[in-house]
Structure 1
Amino acid sequence: MNKLSTTLLLAISINTPCLAQSTGSNHSQWQQYFEQLADYDDIEDNNMENLYERLCELETSPINLNTATDDDLKQLSFLSYTQIEELTEYLDRYSPLQSLGELSMIQSLDPVRLQLLRHFVYIGEEKKAEQFPTINNILKYGKHELVGTVTVPFYNRKGDRNGYLGYKYKHWVRYTFKYGQHVQIGITGTQDAGEPFFAGKNTMGYDHYAYYAVIRKLGRIKTLALGQYKIRLGMGLVMNTGFSLGKTTSLVFSTPTNTITPNSSRSDAYYLQGTAATLALGKHTDITAFASYRKIDATLNDDGSIRTLLHTGYHRTISEMQRKHNSAQWTTGAALRWRNYGFHIGANAIYTAYNRELRPNTSQLFRKYDPAGKSFYNGSINYGYISHWLNINGETAVNNEGAIATLNSVSLKANSSLTLTAIQRFYSYRYYSLFGSSFSDGGKVQNESGIYLGASWMPLSRLSILAYSDYAYFPWARYTAALASQSWDNMVQTTYSLSNRLALSARYRLRLRQQNHTDANSEKTLIDKTEHRARLSLAYTGTHWTAKTQFDGAYTVFPSNIKDKPNSRGGMIMQTVSYIQDAITITANIGYFHTQDYNSRLYAYERGTLYSFNFPMFYGKGMRGAMFVRGSIGKNIIIIGKVGATKYFDRDVISSSYQQIDSSWKTDMDLQVKWKF
């Protein structure tokens, strides 16, 4: 099987002529920066994957700086609020720009951001009175994109033999039509391994379809979305179906407020379905309104009420298929926003109703204050001020129980090389929002208070430092702690450019958290869990060759008197090498990992297919290897192949239940074709 995988990949690389200049190297550059910021909390919550997909979308539809609006620039989430403000002012004063090199005049744009901008913006013609394009121009000059991907596993799971309703292959297809920033139409069909295809209840083929049509800049209509979409209001306390920034990304990324984006995700969760629009009421005021009705998955109680809302999207077994779309959700809301002289203020309200009553199992302490009933509403006020050196943002929300949540942040640009950030949050344990997602340590906008202090510093032209310290207190029980608990999280990351081609990066994270433990008297108490995580990497970037050597380590410590919780150590070394020549990109990586158990698990980034952010997890003892090949045929066709294999030395069976593989090997192959026409 491994020989077959290698043969197929070699066939792709040999038979793909070098007829066009590939964008693979450029794409790799911003990917490398992006993966440096990934933390395992963000990875496990899929925050990085959602942000990554959004940047991939932006890369395919870059922004013309000479016609860009304020809302356009806010899509550049890798810029801070201050950098966006300075970029906006520079464009107002000096537009039209003649080259991207002029952006180096903006002091707050460091060399990394200047390089990133080149992948997402361009200098085009200036059209001060830009009109919405005619139907003829849209049809004539619009761009089509068709992507198809299949994952082939070279093994059988237990469920593949008996239990799953479909075959073992995973595949998806996506069609997109775009006309600049004005029109975007698309549909995505996706199939997880084990789900029936054109069989059973999936008579329409794929298990999940995402479809949308989005129009922007149509007179007073800033954005109009039909079909499936994602929306974020304020800072996300009442509504955010997109991504949330983590503790590291909060130092270098920004999140625009009151945004409507199409849902092209392959996930059958965290989106709305219906219509949404943002309209300009005046020069400084706009309103956003939306309405959504969709079927959802849920586990039901014996009386037909909803016990748990499900977000996995898996429909592989009879029981999973029975839960598919067995309930319905209706959501509507509106937001009013005013901006002027750097100040902004907004009011947000949403209402949600279900066709069945939500009745969670409140005998579990951590679920005692979960939402219960058939209808819910949330309201909030968000506010802030942005200038060249100061950025203030905040939101205060209330739910139908009268419980409060508030989040406030201050970012101060102390000088050209140092930016300080502070974030305060208070989320009552009685507060809940069915669509809330924002900055937190516990992963929910509920049952948490905390303060976060961070810094982004470039003391030398070749040295950059990111650091934060975050304290959180949980006044009520949570999933892993039956009593009030606390957490303290600290991280420092440095990157030093030894030369124009060689960079050394180091990261250390110390996290202290409390969790459940049952003592000798069968009483539940809390014990301290201390995690040490470190990473050291050396990266080389040449004209055609790039290489990266990375060491990761984890050490989890429990109190010495707790005999059933042994300390856990783990380490991993990974070597990655890439070769880029015209239309061909080849990347290979190999690594060895050895951890004592799941508590010392480790993650490593792997180059993958388009629109997929790959950060596989490893624990136990074994090796991981992968080969990635990307080739272009002319300017319109991209072919990608990847083979990845993991060999475990400490087990003969991988995973459990229906996912069980009766082997110490796990090998997968991804094949993808992208056609632009």
Structure 2
Amino acid sequence: MNRLLCISILLILGVPCLAQQTKEHSAYAWLPLFEQLCDYDDIEEHDMEDMFEQLCELEQTPLDLNKATDEDLLRLFFLSPKQREDLTEYLDRYRPLRSIGELALVESVDPLRKQLLESFCFISEANEERPFPTLKQIAKYGKNELVAATQVPLYDREGDRNGYLGYKYKHWFRYTFKYGDYVKAGLTGAQDAGEPFFSNCNKLGYDHYAYYLLVRKLGRFKAIALGQYKLRLGLGLAMNTGFTLGKTATTTMSIPTNAITANSSRSEAYYLQGAATTIGVAKHLDATAFVSYRNVDATLNADGTVKTLLRTGYHRTQSEIEQRHNTSQFVAGGNINWKANGLRIGATAFNTAFNRPLKPNTAQAYQRYAPKGMSFFNASLYYAYTHYRFCFNGETAMNGDAAVATLNTITFQATNNLQLTAIQRFYSYRYHSLFSASFSDGGHIQNENGVYAAIAWHPIAKLTLTAYTDYAYHPWPRYGVSDPSHSWDNMLQTSFQPNRKWTISARYRLRLRQKDYKENDKAKTQLADKNEQRARLTVGYESGIWKTKTQIDAAYTLITPPLSSTIVSKGWMALQTIAVRLGRFTLAANAAYFHTDDYDSRLYAYERTTLYNFSFPSFFGEGIRGALFLRADINKNLVLIAKAGTTKYFDRNSISNALQQINQSYKTDIDLQLKWKF
């Protein structure tokens, strides 16, 4: 799976009113904006999917700023801690607001985030608290939504002819019931291409089902989740099954410290299954308890122990089916959280147990300190303090072997236009948590020590400059790196919006890493330096019903082994996107030409696609990519979407390899989707 997408923007003018404001805008109008805050290559696919779904849900059920609680405002993760604190203070002092335009008076909130807030918030007439609805009200006034989608490939893979046990079509559905911000329930069914449907191991149809019930604001119960749910506690060093921010987004955003959310994802990993609740014990004190039991996929050793826990979710072949749900996992724990006067302190503890021992191959150096055994204990203490222009937060975690991981960040709002951020982390190579996800360079909360510094500056209202530098040292071997190693990552980005029609942005990234290199199978492994440079220039124009974007990407990579000659990989890509909205119809098209030497100079391109999906493919070699997108809003309750995309390679006669191999130089996919509200 590719590293994924990042999202962007838009407006929606707040109209002063005494009732809920209406928003006449195209779906996902905020997408172009959000793209300016994060980097496509910098966030894992499952993180981007989770982040995107939360924003989609927030768009459909926006926050009423006259009634929003502190917990509600934590959902606005695109705000920095300082911006969220200032917004909270403004609401406490001046509610009820009369217009969304009053947010202009919160000085630390920059124009871009003001536009985002207009997409996800509204102003109601009254600010009195509404009681929790009755069952009759929920049944009568609840909203239903059904989304169904399929992807049809106009080609055959090798596995479609011989190897995969199911047909080549990918499809899924999602049913959601909502009553405001109080009740949410749903069922999702998902099927990957090649997986059996109503046969073999999937007698009940889909390969994966997600089901949940989430209740919020029920008296002292701030949240109750039944079924599948996602949980984030502290900064995620011990427990986080939700998303994490990439380095670019970290410069100006912050993720909620504690959150229980429903799992409606099509992914078979990154969730808990059972029950969780957060209750207000006292005015400033909350307690959270959670329990989970589920079966997970694993590769087994000959003695029946677990060699590797799997997260791909693929069950297409007989060997993949044999790995399906063959190990059970039980998790139970709790959290306490105290918050008052800008200070937050919390503690988490939980235990994870399996029905069979984890026994990784410790003969491989990078797995020497991987989790081993049947039971694993984790605990953490997190802390935060916000005062005027400073915001400090951190977490220190420990596992059952007394190995430590700590993450500490400080943000200084030097002026309303200048924000400085520094992050320190130390993750012992002996530390491990099966549910950790937080800030890192290597993607794991283990075997990493580092320092990160960032700046976000608005020298003038229409110009934004963002930059970071991050150094990390890995004292123990990692996958693909057989010795201790280091990395240094740097990024500079600028965005200029002279008016509401034009947006010009440029980004440059320099990343220095180390990796194993072998000149041939018989040669000795060397630790090579990898110098990777990427640049992007984007020009966007929007006027009335038209939108267009021109994007140029370039990549230049040097791999320098100590005993061999330097390897150079370079490439570039030009992408043109255009979209038009004509009444009930939205039409978008994009075309790209790419030419790179190999995978090391691969490039990424975002494409508009169906709802709750991402299309952010990577390209290497030489070829062209084209896609057409059509959305028809039949009425306010029914939406139909179709997309066709094709890729033609000029430098090869087949695409991919093994069971995924396509024996031709081009491939075309068609996506169809229906969304029905009732």
Same fold per superposition (TM over 0.5): yes
The equivalent of 1:670 in structure 2 is 671
Per the TM alignment, residue 61 of structure 1 is displaced from its structure 2 partner at its CA by 1.1
Match runs of 1:247-258 below 5 Å: 247-258=247-258
Deviations 1:643-672 (A, max 9, x none): 110000001100001100011111001100
Do 1:43 and 1:615's aligned partners in 2 also have CA atoms closer than 8 Å?
Answer: no
CA displacement, residues 60-92 of structure 1 (integer Å, 9 cap, x when unaligned)? 111111111000011011111111111111111
Q: Give how far 1:614 is off.
A: 1.8
Indicate the residue corresponding to 2:216 in structure 1: 216
TM-score normalised to structure 1 length: 0.95
Per-residue CA shift, 1:106-137, capped at 9, x if unaligned? 11111111111121111123242321011111
Equivalent position of 2:156 in the other structure: 156
Letter in 1 for 2:631: R
Deviations, residues 534-560 of structure 1 (Å, cap 9, x unaligned): 000110011110100000000001228
CA distance in 1, matches of 2:591, 2:564: 36
Match of 1:46, SS? helix
Q: CA separation in 2, counterparts of 1:499 and 1:366?
A: 52
Name the Cα RMSD after superposition: 1.6
Residue identity over aligned pairs, in percent, reads: 56
Shift in CA distance, 27/456, structure 1 to aligned 2, threshold 3 Å: farther
What's the counterpart of residue 242 of structure 1?
242
User: Taking structure 1 as reference, are residues 545 and 470 closer, same or farther at Cα in structure 2, changes over 3 Å only?
Assistant: same
SS in 2 for 1:82: helix
The offset of 1:419, in angstroms, is 0.4
- Aligned partner of 2:454 in structure 1 is 454
Query: Which residue is 1:421 aligned to?
Result: 421
Distance change >3 Å, CA 482–CA 40, structure 1 → 2: farther
| Offset, 1:390 | 1.2
CA distance in 2, matches of 1:197, 1:40: 33
Distance 1:338 1:127, change over 3 A: same
Separation (CA, whole Å) in 2 of partners of 1:663 and 1:652:
5
Look up the equivalent residue of 2:461 and give its one-letter code.
Answer: S
Partner of 1:434: 434
Structure 1 position 386, deviation (Å): 1.5
Kept in 2, the 8 Å contact 1:465–1:493? The answer is yes
Matched residue type, 1:270: Y
- TM-score, L = length of structure 2: 0.95
Are residues 546 and 647 of structure 1, via their aligned partners in 2, closer, same or farther at CA, if it must alter by over 3 Å? same
Aligned residues of 1:474 and 1:485 also touching (Cα < 8 A) = yes
Aligned mates of 1:226, 1:667 — CA distance in 2: 40
Q: State the alpha-carbon separation in 2 of the partners of residues 368 and 402 from structure 1.
A: 16
Q: Tell me: CA distance 1:46–1:36, structure 2 relative to 1, closer, same or farther (3 Å).
A: farther
Q: Cα deviations across residues 481-502 of structure 1 (Å, max 9, x unaligned)? A: 1111000000000001233311
Deviations 1:184-204 (A, max 9, x none): 000100000000111111010
Q: What's the offset of the Cα at 1:566?
A: 1.9
Give the aligned partner of residue 650 of structure 1: 651
Amino acid at match of 2:530: K
Shift of residue 562, structure 1, vs aligned partner: 5.7
User: 1:278-677 alignment to 2 at 5 Å?
Assistant: 278-518=278-518, 522-559=523-560, 563=564, 566-677=567-678
Once the two structures are overlaid, the 10-residue window that deviates more, 519-528 or 266-275, is 519-528
- Verify the 8 A CA contact 2:431 2:446 in the aligned structure 1: yes
Letter in 1 for 2:329: Q
**Runs of 5+ in structure 1 lacking a partner?**
1-21
Could you tell me whether the CA contact under 8 Å between 1:336 and 1:347 is conserved in 2? yes
Q: Which amino acid aligns with 2:571?
A: G
Structure 1 residues 353-402: Cα deviation after superposition (integer angstroms, max 9, x where no partner): 00000000111111110000000001010001013411111000110011
Does structure 2 conserve the Cα–Cα contact (< 8 Å) formed by 1:573 and 1:593?
yes
- By how many angstroms is 1:56 displaced? 1.0
Taking the aligned partners of 1:42 and 1:224, their CA distance within structure 2 comes to 32
Distance 1:519 1:192, change over 3 A: closer
Superposition map of 1:81-120 within 5 A: 81-120=81-120
Code of the aligned partner of 2:334 = A
Q: Is the 8 A contact 2:517 2:561 kept in 1?
A: no
Is contact 1:43-1:49 (8 Å) kept?
Answer: no
**Native 8 Å contact 1:153 1:169 kept in 2:** yes
Does structure 1 retain, via aligned residues, the 8 Å contact 2:96–2:127?
no
Q: Which has the higher contact order (CA 8 A, sep 6+)?
A: 1
Deviation of 1:47 after TM superposition, in Å, equals 2.3
Structure 2: distance between partners of 1:564 and 1:50: 43
Q: Deviations over 1:565-607 (max 9, x none)?
A: 6210010000000101332111100000000000000001100
Amino acid at match of 2:113: R
What residue identity is the alignment partner of 1:592?
A: Y
Alpha-carbon offset, residue 29 of structure 1? 3.3
Asked if 2 retains the 8 angstrom alpha-carbon contact of 1:35 and 1:605, the reply is no
Distance 2:26 2:488 in 1: 38
- Which residue identity does 1:601 align to in structure 2? R
| Conserved 8 A contact 2:491-2:508 | yes
**Structure 2 SS opposite 1:203:** coil
Task: Report if the CA contact (8 A) 1:27-1:119 is conserved.
Answer: no
Distance 1:131 1:663 in 2: 62
Distance (Å, rounded) in 2 between the aligned partners of 1:358 and 1:143:
44
- Residue 239 of structure 2 aligns to a residue in which SS? coil
2:526 counterpart SS class = strand
Encode CA deviations 1:220-259: one digit per residue, 9 max, x unaligned: 0000000000000100000000001110010122100121
Q: How many residues were matched structurally?
A: 657
Unmatched runs of 5 consecutive residues or more in structure 2:
1-21
1:126-160 deviations in Å (ceiling 9; x for gaps): 24232101111111111100000000000000101
